[in-house]
Structure 1
Amino acid sequence: MRGRLIGQTVAVMAVGLLAAAIDGCSRRVTPEDFAEGEGATAPAEMSPQQERSSAQPTGAPEKAVTATDPGGNRNHQPGDKEPLEGVTESTPSAIQGGDSSPEPTTRVSRAQRTGGVAERPQGRPVQGEEQAGAVAPQVDQSQGLGDQAVEATPTVAPADAIPIDQPEERPQLAEGAAAADGTDDGRPAGASTAEPFNPLRAGRAGMGPLRSEGAGGEGHPAFRPASTEASHEGGRQSKKYDPIAENGPIFVGWPKPQLALVLTGCQNGYLEPCGCAGLDRMKGGLGRRHTFMSELRNKRSWPVVALDVGGLIKGFGRQAEMKFHTTVSAMQLMQYETIALGANDLRLPAAELLAVAAPVDGKTLFVSGNVALFKFEYGMTARYEVIRAGGRKVGVTAVLGKSFQQKINNPELEIIAPEEALAELVPVLKPQCDLLVLLAHASRDESIALGKAFPEFDVVVTAGGPAEPPLDLAHIDGTSALLVEVGQKGMYAVVLGFYQDEAVRYQRVPLDSRFPYSPDVKLLMVNYQDQLRQVGFEGLGVRPVPHSRREELGAYVGSQKCQSCHEVSYRVWRKSGHARAWRTLVHLDPPRTHDPECVSCHVVGWNPEYYYPYETGFWSEEKTPELVDVGCESCHGPGEAHVKAEMGSDLALQRKLQQAVTLTLEDAKKQQCITCHDGENSPDFKFETYWPKIEHREWEDE
C-alpha cells in the first residue's frame, strides 16, 4: 500500500513537472521578445477570422428603413434572389435599451420630371447598360465581403436612450464643428434632422431622418444605434488582430440594391499603406479597394457605379507623375465610371494629364465641368457623363472649388467659376437623368453652398471634411441632397444603396485587412517600384541639401565609428530592429529600396518627413554602405566633428560636442521618434513600450 502511494505521488509530481515545463516553453517566447524594433521585418498580413453567416427568416412584415436604420424593408426587385445576409448598416450594433421597434420612414414623392434631351456641351455619349444587364452566377450570399458574421436584425432607439459617454468611438468632426446638443455626436453646430424626401425625384421612396448640414431647423429626432465594441474603431487591442471585430461588419441586413454608388476620393498619393510595421491595423490601399469592389460586382452581383472626387496625388515631380499613372491604371481595373480632377492632379504637366485624360474612342475617365485642358472647345475632357446602371440614368459632373483654384498656376488650363459651369450643365442633365451627382473637389462649406444653389443634385460628394467619413449620412439643409464625405488618404470607401421602395442606405467601408491584397494591383505596384529603380534618385529630382547643423556637427560617418567609445550603446543598437531597418525594405514584396518615401526612414542622413537626403547622407547601398539602417546619427545628428574631437585633447571642445549630439529623453519622445513612428507608418507605436528596447545612456556621471 505504501509503495503504491509513493508510486502515485511520484507520478503526480512527474506530471506536474512536465506540465510546468510545457507551460514554461509556451510562455518563454512572446511577441515582445521578437519585437526589437518596428523596422526589423515586415510581418505578413494576417487574414481576418472568418465566420459563416446564418440565414435570417423571410416573410416578415415589410417596413421602410432610413439610412441609419439597419432593420426594416426586405423588398426585392423583380427577379432578385434572397436578401443578402452577413452585411450591416452604416452604424451596425445591437441596441442597448430604448424602443426596440424600427422607426418607419415617411415617404414623400415628387412629380416625375419631364422634358426633352437638350444638346450637351462636350458631354459624353450615354453609355450602355453592360453592368446592369450582366448577370453573375449565383453565389453563397453568406460568404462575401470577408465572410463577416451575421448579427441579429438590428433595431433603433431614440438618441436620448443612447449612451453618450464614449468619445473615443465618435467620428472626427470637421474643424470648428460641434454638436447641436453639446455632445460630440458627429453633427456640426446648428445641425438638424430633416423631413423625409425623395432621392430619385421620380416617385421613389423617401429618405428617413438624417443629420442636416447648413442652416438649422426643426425635424424628426435623430436615430442612432448604440455603440458596441465590435461596431466601431478603436476598441481594445488583441494580439491577433480581427479587423471585423475592430472596425465592424459591413452591409448587415442589406438586400441587393438596384444601384450601388461607390464613392471615393482624396487618396493624396497613398497608393498603399506602409508595410514596415505590419499591415493588419492599417487602412487603405488600392489593392484592398480593388478586392472590395470586385467582391461587390462578382460575389454580390451588385450594379456598381464607381465615382471618385479626385485628389489622386499630392505634391509634384516625377514620382508624383508615376503615382498618378499607377493610380489611374488601378482605377481602370476597378471599372471606375468617372474621376474628378483635383487641385494637385491639375498641377501635373498637360502632357501627363493628356496621357491618361484624353478621350479614347470618345470615352475618358476624367470629367470636369469648370476645368478644361487648353480650351473647352477642344473637348479634351468631358464636362459631364450620363451612366446607365440598374435601370436608371445617373448624371455626373464635377467642379473644382474656388479655394482649390487658387493653388493652381497652370497656363495650359482654362478654368471658370463652379456656379457658371453648373448653371450651364444642370439644365442639360436634369431632363434626362433619374439621379444627379455632383463631385465637388472643394471645401466642405463650398460644397454645401453649391448644393444649396443647385438643389437639383441628389448627391453632393465633397473633398472636404475629416480624415474618416462620418458614421451617419447627412443631407444639405433646405434641399433633398445627400452630402457624402469620403475621408482622406483612401482609407475608406462610401457606398450608397438605392432601392425601388426603400430609403437610401449608407455604409462607410474601412479598407482594412479583411480585404486581401489584389494580385492584379500588386503587379502594378511591382511595375511602379521597378520604374523608381530604373529612374533612380537623380531621375526623380532628388537632390541632397546641406544639413542645418552641418557647420557644427560635420558630415555623417556611420555607426561603426561610435563602437570603440560607446561599446555598450553600440551593442544595444546592434540587437535592435533599427540595425535591420534596411533589410525590411529589401525583403518587402516588391522591395522598396529605391522609393524615397520608404528609404527616408530606413537609412542615415535623410529627412524622413519630406523624403530628401542631406549632403554626406545615404545615397545607395553601393556608394554609402556604412549608412544603411537606422543608425546612431539618425537620432543624434552627424558625428564627424564629435569623433574628431574625441581623438584630440581639447576637453572643452569635447564637452561642447558631447552636449551637441546628446538627445534628451523628452526630446526623443516628443520630437525625434515620431518623425518616422507616426500614425500612418507605425500605428502601434508607443514610446513607453519601444524605448526600453533601445534604451542607452551616456555621460550620466559627468
Structure 2
Amino acid sequence: MFNSVPAEKRLLIDTGSLVETNSDQDLIKFDIIVEALGLLDYHAVNLTDEDFEIARNRGLLDNPAVRFISPHRTGETAAGFQSRYLLNNEHVTVSVLTFDPDKSPTEQIKEGFVNPEEGAKTINILIVSRCDEEVVSSIAPLGIVDCIVCPSEAEEPMIIGSPNRRPLVFSVGRYGRYICRLQIEKARVRDRFKFKFTAIPVNEDLEKDAALVDLYKGYQQIIRDSNLLERHPRYVLPDGLKYVGSQSCSSSDCHAYEYVEWMDNAHASAYATLEEVGSQYDPECVACHVVGMDYESGFISEQQTPLLKDVGCENCHGPGSKHNEKPHEVKTSEPKMTCIQCHTPEHSGDYAGNEDTFLERIKHWTEPNAPGNVK
C-alpha cells in the first residue's frame, strides 16, 4: 500500500495512542509496534502523554530507527519536523507539528511552525491531542495551519465539517483498520493547494510482508515465554460457584439436543482457531475463545483445564455447578457474557450491523424459544 506512492513523494506518520494501558502485555506490544513502524520506514511517530511515558521508561526515545515527535518539550523529542518535496517542479516544505491545547496556548503554534523564506511554498499539518469545535475555532484564525489531524474514538476515519474549509479537519480512526491518505495537489488558484482525503481499509487481501510476519511471530513467542496466560488475574466466583464444562450439560435428561447442535457450530471449535494462528498463549485472544478465564475455576491452560476450551454453555449462561446439582431447583446465574463483550470493533469488525446473521450461525436451541429467552 505504501509502495504505491514513490518513496520521494510520500510522508508516513503515525498519530499515536500505540497501546491502551501499561499492562505487561501492552508494554511488550509497545516495543513490537515501535519496531514495526521502523521496518515500515515511518517518517515520524507522534507520542501521546501515555506513549511518551512508556517510551521514556523503556529507553526507546533514542531509537535510531524511529523519529518520535511529541508536544512534550523536554529535549528528548522534538515537537515537529519538516520534509521537502518536489510538486509540479516546485519545492514544497511540509511541516508537521504536534500540539496539546490543554497545556499550551494557541499562539505557541506560530512558534512551532518555522517561518518560510519569502516566496517559499509550505504546507502546515497540526496533530492535536484533543479536537472539538472550540479547539478548531481557536486555531483557524491563525491562518497558518492547512490541516488539523484529530484523535478519534470511532473505528472509521472521517472528515470533520466541510471538506472544502481550511484548515481541513479529519480524524484518523482506531484499531489500525484504516490508513488515512492525504494527497496534496497544486490548486488552480496561485500559491494554493488542494487536499484529497481517502480512508483506505487495511484488509487481509494485502500482501504479507515477511519481516513483519517474523516480527509478529516473535511477539507471539515473547507472550508465550512470559507466561502471561497462567499469570492472568482471576476473580473469585460468587456463592461458591464453579465452572464445570459444557459436557456436563449433555445428559439426555437435560440439554442433549442443544449440546449436539452446539458441537456443530463455530463456538465449539473456537480454541482451535487460535492454535491455527499460534495465538493460544495470548491472553487477549484466549479470553474470548474459552470458558471463564477471568475467574477461579475457569480456563487456565489446555493442559490444566481441557474441558473449558472453546466458547461453551457457561460463557452465556453462567457457571453451572449448582444448577447441575439441582437442575430443577437452581437456575444458572451471573457472571454471564454477552455477545458484544467479545464481538467488539477491535476483534470482530463485521459484527456491528450483522448481529442477526452472527446469531443464526450459533443457533442451537429449539423453536419456539426466542433468542432472547434462551438463558
C-alpha distance in structure 1 between counterparts of 2:28 and 2:162, whole Å? 36
One-letter amino acid of the structure 2 residue matched with residue 508 of structure 1: A
* Greater RCO, 1 or 2 (C-alpha within 8 Å, sep 6+): 1
Q: Partner residue of 1:434?
A: 122
Q: Partner residue of 1:470?
A: 158
One-letter amino acid of the structure 1 residue matched with residue 235 of structure 2: V
Q: Partner residue of 1:452?
A: 140
C-alpha distance in structure 2 between counterparts of 1:473 and 1:302, whole Å? 31
Q: Identify if the C-alpha distance between structure 1 residues 593 and 513 changes in structure 2 by more than 3 Å, giving closer, same or farther.
A: closer
Give the C-alpha shift of residue 398 in structure 1: 0.6
Answer whether contact 2:18 2:30 (CA < 8 A) is retained. yes
Q: Identify if the C-alpha distance between structure 1 residues 389 and 695 changes in structure 2 by more than 3 Å, giving closer, same or farther.
A: same
One-letter amino acid of the structure 2 residue matched with residue 382 of structure 1: A
- 1:433-453 deviation per Cα after TM superposition (whole angstroms, max 9, x unaligned): 722221112223354135325
Q: Partner residue of 2:56?
A: 350
Q: Which residue among 344, 352, 355 is the counterpart of 1:686? A: 355
Does 2:328 correspond to 1:660? Answer: no
C-alpha distance in structure 2 between counterparts of 1:485 and 1:455, whole Å? 20
Q: Partner residue of 1:366?
A: 68
Q: Which residue among 481, 484, 490 is the counterpart of 2:170? A: 484
SS class of match (2:174): coil
Q: Which residue among 673, 678, 682 is the counterpart of 2:339? A: 673
C-alpha distance in structure 2 between counterparts of 1:696 and 1:465, whole Å? 37
Q: How many residues align?
A: 352
Answer whether contact 1:367 1:381 (CA < 8 A) is retained. yes
Q: Partner residue of 1:411?
A: none
C-alpha distance in structure 2 between counterparts of 1:680 and 1:384, whole Å? 30
Where does the alignment leave 5 or more consecutive residues of structure 1 unmatched? 1-291, 403-415, 607-612, 647-653
Give the C-alpha shift of residue 619 in structure 1: 0.9
Give the C-alpha shift of residue 605 in structure 1: 0.4
C-alpha distance in structure 2 between counterparts of 1:689 and 1:397, whole Å? 44
Q: Which has the larger radius of gyration?
A: 1
Q: Identify if the C-alpha distance between structure 1 residues 587 and 457 changes in structure 2 by more than 3 Å, giving closer, same or farther.
A: same
One-letter amino acid of the structure 1 residue matched with residue 322 of structure 2: A
Q: Partner residue of 1:212?
A: none
Give the C-alpha shift of residue 556 in structure 1: 0.8
Across the aligned residues of Structure 1 and Structure 2, the Cα RMSD in angstroms comes to 3.2
Give the C-alpha shift of residue 329 in structure 1: 1.7
Q: Identify if the C-alpha distance between structure 1 residues 681 and 464 changes in structure 2 by more than 3 Å, giving closer, same or farther.
A: closer
C-alpha distance in structure 1 between counterparts of 2:219 and 2:134, whole Å? 36
Q: Which residue among 617, 626, 649 is the counterpart of 2:307? A: 626
C-alpha distance in structure 2 between counterparts of 1:577 and 1:296, whole Å? 40
Answer whether contact 1:492 1:508 (CA < 8 A) is retained. yes
C-alpha distance in structure 2 between counterparts of 1:524 and 1:437, whole Å? 31
Answer whether contact 1:400 1:440 (CA < 8 A) is retained. yes
1:49-448 mapped onto 2 (5 Å cutoff): 292-297=1-6, 303-346=9-52, 348=54, 350-352=56-58, 354-355=59-60, 357-358=61-62, 360=64, 365-368=67-70, 370-372=71-73, 376=74, 379-390=75-86, 391-402=91-102, 416-419=103-106, 421-426=108-113, 428-431=114-117, 434-445=122-133, 447-448=135-136
Give the C-alpha shift of residue 510 in structure 1: 2.3
- 1:81-104 deviation per Cα after TM superposition (whole angstroms, max 9, x unaligned): xxxxxxxxxxxxxxxxxxxxxxxx
Answer whether contact 2:267 2:311 (CA < 8 A) is retained. yes
- 1:48-107 deviation per Cα after TM superposition (whole angstroms, max 9, x unaligned): xxxxxxxxxxxxxxxxxxxxxxxxxxxxxxxxxxxxxxxxxxxxxxxxxxxxxxxxxxxx
Identity fraction in percent = 26
SS class of match (1:419): coil
Q: Identify if the C-alpha distance between structure 1 residues 500 and 634 changes in structure 2 by more than 3 Å, giving closer, same or farther.
A: closer
Where does the alignment leave 5 or more consecutive residues of structure 2 unmatched? 370-375
Q: Which residue among 211, 214, 224 is the counterpart of 1:523? A: 214
Answer whether contact 1:314 1:320 (CA < 8 A) is retained. yes
C-alpha distance in structure 1 between counterparts of 2:358 and 2:13, whole Å? 42
Give the C-alpha shift of residue 661 in structure 1: 4.9
C-alpha distance in structure 2 between counterparts of 1:495 and 1:417, whole Å? 28
Give the C-alpha shift of residue 308 in structure 1: 2.4
Q: Partner residue of 2:264?
A: 575
Answer whether contact 1:340 1:399 (CA < 8 A) is retained. no
Q: Identify if the C-alpha distance between structure 1 residues 501 and 690 changes in structure 2 by more than 3 Å, giving closer, same or farther.
A: closer
Answer whether contact 1:636 1:661 (CA < 8 A) is retained. yes
- 1:169-225 deviation per Cα after TM superposition (whole angstroms, max 9, x unaligned): xxxxxxxxxxxxxxxxxxxxxxxxxxxxxxxxxxxxxxxxxxxxxxxxxxxxxxxxx
Q: Identify if the C-alpha distance between structure 1 residues 448 and 367 changes in structure 2 by more than 3 Å, giving closer, same or farther.
A: same
Answer whether contact 2:34 2:66 (CA < 8 A) is retained. no
C-alpha distance in structure 2 between counterparts of 1:365 and 1:295, whole Å? 23
More strand by share: 2
Give the C-alpha shift of residue 430 in structure 1: 4.3
Answer whether contact 1:447 1:462 (CA < 8 A) is retained. no
Give the C-alpha shift of residue 524 in structure 1: 1.7
Q: TM-score of the superposition, structure 2-length normalised?
A: 0.82
Give the C-alpha shift of residue 583 in structure 1: 0.6
Q: Identify if the C-alpha distance between structure 1 residues 622 and 694 changes in structure 2 by more than 3 Å, giving closer, same or farther.
A: same
Q: Identify if the C-alpha distance between structure 1 residues 521 and 474 changes in structure 2 by more than 3 Å, giving closer, same or farther.
A: farther
Answer whether contact 1:316 1:347 (CA < 8 A) is retained. no
Q: Identify if the C-alpha distance between structure 1 residues 593 and 401 changes in structure 2 by more than 3 Å, giving closer, same or farther.
A: farther
Answer whether contact 1:468 1:488 (CA < 8 A) is retained. yes
